[in-house]
Amino acid sequence: MGNHPDSIRLNKAISDSGYCSRRKADVFIEQGRVTLNGTIVSLGDRAMPGDLIHVDGHLITKNTNLVYIALNKPVDITCTTDQRVEGNVVDFIGHKERIFHVGRLDKPSEGLLLMTNDGDIVNKILRAGNKHEKEYIVTTDRPVTDDFIRRMSSGIPIAELETTTKNCHVERLSRFAFKIILIQGLNRQIRRMCEYLEYEVLTLKRTRIMNINLGNLALGTWRDLTPKEVKELQEAVSDSNNNSYAGQEPSQAPELEKKAPVTRTPRNKERPSQDGPKRRRGRTT
């Protein structure tokens, strides 16, 4: 079709609908599950206004009811939209809209997880080159020393990924706890960094993503982001290496209702125990 000024990449059109993230849309396209006007498409194909896009026979339409959620994820909840997986985060929340998680917070970890149906903002936040901060509090099986802080903050080689972590801020909080602020999202990054220095991570909690703080949100509950938080988030990613939302500037995105945030406990779920964290051997950050 070429790059007609009114055309849009199919993966973006699908993510803008709130059906899934742009990365997941690419997977669906590769698997031959996406059609454009009845024809199976390929990666990189584009659509024009009025074209009919289907994923697994489901008609994709633009979603104007944007949802932005902060969840305090408990341990043992899995970040996946695959509802065949027991303990998946989508069923845990039970939201009426089709939402997906922004990045991952893996099963042995807890804390702040953003969820939304705004596929464009997900893509901008996740791009590593955009250097968006994520903050964690970690406890370990050995005392946190000055040497540990120095080495963690100055870069750790990760042989499995054939890379070295970027410099980051690391601060000791107590004898067995530290705070770390990352701008990367490498697989099992914090745990691998600690393992290299012969430390074991006992607990890992994310407390901040960019301008969104976990605050006093109870474990296992979620809330809508405030209009101020959404505006700040949109402004923070406005210069990101990506196209803006549906061809609009962030300030033109649909306005959210201005109301005080309400904390919610997931439907049909008992609130997880808030006892102190137990010793766990985790796999990813």
Tokens of 46: 């584009």
In terms of Cα–Cα distance, which of 222, 215, 183, 187 is closest to 74?
A: 222
Catalytic annotation present for 51: no
Q: What is the DSSP string of 156-198?
A: -EEGGGTEEPPP-EEEEEETTEEEEEES---TTHHHHHHHHTT
In terms of Cα–Cα distance, which of 83, 129, 77, 130 is closest to 104?
A: 77
DSSP-assigned beta bridge partners for residue 36 = 39, 53
- Identify the three-state secondary structure at position 32: coil
CA distance 252 to 91: 31
- Identify the three-state secondary structure at position 232: helix
Tokens of 160: 């499995």
Q: How far is CA 169 from the centre of its chain?
A: 21
CA distance 274 to 163: 37
Say if residues 136 and 282 touch (Cβ distance below 8 Å).
Answer: no
Q: Give me the count of residues in the chain.
A: 285
Say if residues 68 and 118 touch (Cβ distance below 8 Å).
Answer: yes
Catalytic residue among 16, 26, 91, 106: 106
Which residues belong to the active site?
106
